[in-house]
Amino acid sequence: MNNMIQNDFTYGEHDEHFFNQGFNAYCRTDIQQKMLEDEVRTDFYRDAIYNNKHLFKDKIVMDFGCGSGILSMFAAKAGAKKVFGVEASDLAKTTKKNVKKNGLDHIITILEGKVEEIELPGVDKVDILLSEVMGVGLIHEGTLQSLVIARDRFLVSHIVMYIVLRWIRLLDNEKQNSQ
């Protein structure tokens, strides 16, 4: 199994993996564990949220494509009043358990389903749409289209997506380095 992961994600065969697996490409707990163990990545997300607690205090947050729920948990710990983690894959079941183990199930509700199909219990809109939409999954999984739908259906007025901003910054740096 580890060889497959190494080949898929280290040696550039990830395009085919996403085409074949879709939402389930990320639902394996071993892949989620690898992402959580990436300290640069995880620390960046944590710091982006914790260093801006004033944006999260008493807000309603949607974590679109919540995966392991780590961003949902960061948002809850940053003072969000309510967090809805939306996960289209079976990983949602494990994420619900993780949220409960961390004592945050009174703030975080994990919704299993596509953002196009879910309803938010008790609210119509959210103040913040939080998402980690990086890499090939953005295009191959239809994530960009779903993100726009989430924005249009659920977002009150503005958008907070630190992760997309980081991705764009990386692209800008690559562009500058090539000139």
Q: Determine the pLDDT at residue 108.
A: 98
For the cut 50, the answer to whether the pLDDT of residue 132 exceeds it is yes
Q: Determine the pLDDT at residue 82.
A: 98
For the cut 50, the answer to whether the pLDDT of residue 7 exceeds it is no
10 Å CB burial of residue 147 (0-12, 13-18, 19+) is buried
C-alpha 95/C-alpha 157 separation (Å) is 28
pLDDT, mean of residues 67-92:
93
- The residue ranges of every structural domain in the chain are 2-178
Q: Which residue has the higher pLDDT, 153 or 173?
A: 153
Q: Determine the pLDDT at residue 90.
A: 85
pLDDT, mean of residues 82-88:
95
Q: Which of 13, 112, 141, 174 is flagged as catalytic?
A: 141
Orientation angle between helical segments 70-77 and 39-50, nearest 10 degrees: 30
C-alpha 27/C-alpha 55 separation (Å) is 29
- Cβ contact 105:87 at 8 Å: no
Q: Which residue has the higher pLDDT, 67 or 113?
A: 113
Q: Which residue has the higher pLDDT, 169 or 64?
A: 64
Q: Determine the pLDDT at residue 38.
A: 72
Q: Nearest CA to 69 among 137, 142, 130, 155?
A: 130
C-alpha 22/C-alpha 48 separation (Å) is 28
To the query of whether residue 117 is one of the catalytic residues in this protein, the response is no
Q: Which of 39, 112, 117, 132 is flagged as catalytic?
A: 132
pTM score: 0.73
Where does 2-178 sit in CATH, by number? 3.40.50.150
Q: Determine the pLDDT at residue 167.
A: 45
Q: Which two tokens stand for residue 166?
A: 């980081």
For the cut 60, the answer to whether the pLDDT of residue 9 exceeds it is no
Q: Determine the pLDDT at residue 178.
A: 52
Q: Which residue has the tokens 């295009």?
A: 139
For the cut 60, the answer to whether the pLDDT of residue 47 exceeds it is yes
